[in-house]
Structure 1
């Protein structure tokens, strides 16, 4: 009962702040105030607008917003989002492009379950959709999943990935981003031992903590500093009566958001101050750069308590993946069992979430994989977000990933002119050479 009250108190605080913002905006926008020249009136209305929008976005699942893409024939092709596999804790979505023959590259994009929705990869999906058949793991908000659905921890997550890979078949190329990187590696190794014919053709691991101790960050320091008992007492709450998952133990999204913002509080504070001034001057818009970013960044979801705690304990503290001691459903998963799946790691030189060294450790674990099937890339000057959705992804990493996929496909799928030009540019080739 104590945890329910805490959860509902956080939601009440969020709701109250949204109401305060809406009230400030409405009151300061009253026509009579237009007679005064006091700039505080406009600033109050602008502050209220930004505050209301920010707190309202925290409980809304963003839309994918991918209505259509331009095809090679120059016409628009509508995009349908189809559920290929439906499960209580997550679905496998297919971005089906109308009037287009199936693409030779079949990509399964594994979205992180680390506080944000899978829509955080919207720009990644959009960039791949031009040249690939794209499938994405869409994880559900734990507060909306009834307790009767049971538990969901790192082993269940891994088995979900195994089932998704089996569904798509052996001609699939898996791309895992951030948190799921070690579990995607484990799922591939699990298939290598249990169902070799269902293994994907390639596995691209982008900025994930395969070996958290390879390079210390604030995230890994926190995992070492806090005991599991302290974490359970301070971070875990029980979903309130308002939601379908009432009574489920979770790590609340609002609590996660507080941690996200505190890591770069000065930068976020400055961004909101500047946005308030832009709104007051009439320079802001509904889809400006600030709103596009924060509409997604502020939208958070709850994780099941068992998933969050098992991630911290088994991946970060005990380093079960890094030490090749991970167990799934009572079976030890040996990364050395991967002998056919080509593996590529991508890291950002300025990544403060998963620092360089943490992800590339996956290649050392794949002892049964020949060097010809191993590739690594370190992107100079790139932060965490940039390596999968920012400028670095668009200009350098995406072409390299597509080239890697083509090199390890059953058939040599054609590289698009856009990808080939970027991949062979002097800047990209120079960076790839330096990273290798």
Structure 2
């Protein structure tokens, strides 16, 4: 219960700050104060506006905001978000462009479950929607999942991805962004052994920690410094009574956000001070650069405790993927069994979260895959965000990934096995 009390305390602090912002904004905007203009009232209203919006965003799931799309015929087509597979911890959704012929490229974007919603990949989706059929994994906030739905760890994540691939069929091209890269590789290897016909055509791994020790960063060093007992004691709490997942053990989104912000506290503090100044001058707007970024950045979700802990222990500490020692449901997952899925890795030269070397390590594990089906790319001057959603993605990486997909889109030839010699 002490964890539940802590969870509710954090939510109370968030709620109080939202209320204080709303109160300051309403009070400073009272018409009576306009009789005697006072700069302090403008500052108070601006502080209230920025504070209320910031703390309100922390518990709201962002909307995809992709309502229409201009296609090659020059017309605007409505975009409908369809749920293809619905599961307790995450759905498979499809961005259906109404009135447009089905596109030959069918892409599954595997979104990270690392504190933010899948909408973090909104710009990635929009860039691919131009000439692709885009599907994405839409993970749910753990606080809204009843305890009766059971656990969700790295093995369950892997099996979810495998089920989504079975649903989509073998002509699928997978793009895994950041945290899910090692588990997408494991899911493909799992299918190679259990259901070879369901494997995707291609697998593109972007900035993922396949081998965290290849080039250590602050993130990997943290995983080495702390014990699993310390993580469980300091990071894990129980969902409070306010939500459907009451009693579920989670790594709270608000706690994750505090960690995110602390990594660049000075930069975030400056950004909010500047936004308050702009609001006081009347220069801020609902869709300005600050609000577009922080509406997404501040929207965080709780992560199932078992998923967070098993990720740290099995992917980072024990390096089960890097050592090809991962198991799913008691069965070994041999990455060497992948023999006909083309694999490409993408890294950013200035990525300080998953540094160059961590992702390309996947190619060494693919011992059964011919060199002609392996590719890698390191984007100069690109950080972590830029390799999947920034200028580097739009201008350089996206064309390379689509060329890779097109060159490996044909169905692979079946492997002919030699008959056993008769004694």
- Identify the TM-score tier after normalising by the shorter chain: over 0.9
Q: Does 1:155 align with 2:155?
A: yes
Scaled by the length of structure 1, the TM-score of the pair is 0.93
Matches within 5 A, 1:179-198: 179-198=179-198
Q: Does 1:399 align with 2:383?
A: no
Scaled by the length of structure 2, the TM-score of the pair is 0.96
1:287 — aligned with what?
Answer: 287
Q: State the shift of 1:294 in Å.
A: 0.3
Q: Deviations over 1:17-72 (max 9, x none)?
A: 00011111111112232234432221111111000000000000000000010011
Instruction: Please give the secondary structure, in 2, of the residue aligned with 1:51.
Output: helix
Q: Distance in 1 between matches of 2:335 and 2:287?
A: 44
1:259 — aligned with what?
Answer: 259
Instruction: Please give the secondary structure, in 2, of the residue aligned with 1:174.
Output: strand
Q: Does 1:9 align with 2:23?
A: no
Q: Deviations over 1:363-390 (max 9, x none)?
A: 1111111111111111111111111011
Q: State the shift of 1:394 in Å.
A: 0.7
Instruction: Please give the secondary structure, in 2, of the residue aligned with 1:213.
Output: coil
1:418 — aligned with what?
Answer: none
Q: Distance in 2 between matches of 1:318 and 1:247?
A: 29
Q: Distance in 1 between matches of 2:103 and 2:23?
A: 51
Q: Distance in 1 between matches of 2:25 and 2:189?
A: 55
Instruction: Please give the secondary structure, in 2, of the residue aligned with 1:77.
Output: strand
1:417 — aligned with what?
Answer: none
1:326 — aligned with what?
Answer: 326
Q: Deviations over 1:154-212 (max 9, x none)?
A: 00000000000011011000000011000000000111111111110000000110011
Q: Does 1:131 align with 2:134?
A: no
Q: Distance in 1 between matches of 2:54 and 2:357?
A: 35
Greater shift, 261-270 or 32-41, is seen at 32-41
- Unpaired segments of 5 or more residues in structure 2? 412-423
Q: Deviations over 1:206-228 (max 9, x none)?
A: 01100111111111111011100
Q: Deviations over 1:321-346 (max 9, x none)?
A: 01100000111101111110000001
Superposition CA RMSD, Å:
0.8
Aligned residues: 411
1:430 — aligned with what?
Answer: none
Q: Distance in 2 between matches of 1:284 and 1:365?
A: 50
Instruction: Please give the secondary structure, in 2, of the residue aligned with 1:131.
Output: coil
Q: Deviations over 1:54-92 (max 9, x none)?
A: 000000000000001001110011011111100000000
Q: Distance in 1 between matches of 2:408 and 2:341?
A: 9
Instruction: Please give the secondary structure, in 2, of the residue aligned with 1:324.
Output: coil
Q: Does 1:111 align with 2:111?
A: yes
Instruction: Please give the secondary structure, in 2, of the residue aligned with 1:157.
Output: helix
Q: State the shift of 1:403 in Å.
A: 0.6
Q: Distance in 2 between matches of 1:235 and 1:98?
A: 44
Instruction: Please give the secondary structure, in 1, of the residue aligned with 2:301.
Output: coil
Matches within 5 A, 1:373-392: 373-392=373-392
Q: Distance in 2 between matches of 1:386 and 1:265?
A: 20
Q: Distance in 1 between matches of 2:35 and 2:317?
A: 62
2:410 — aligned with what?
Answer: 410
1:239 — aligned with what?
Answer: 239
2:304 — aligned with what?
Answer: 304
Q: Distance in 2 between matches of 1:73 and 1:158?
A: 39
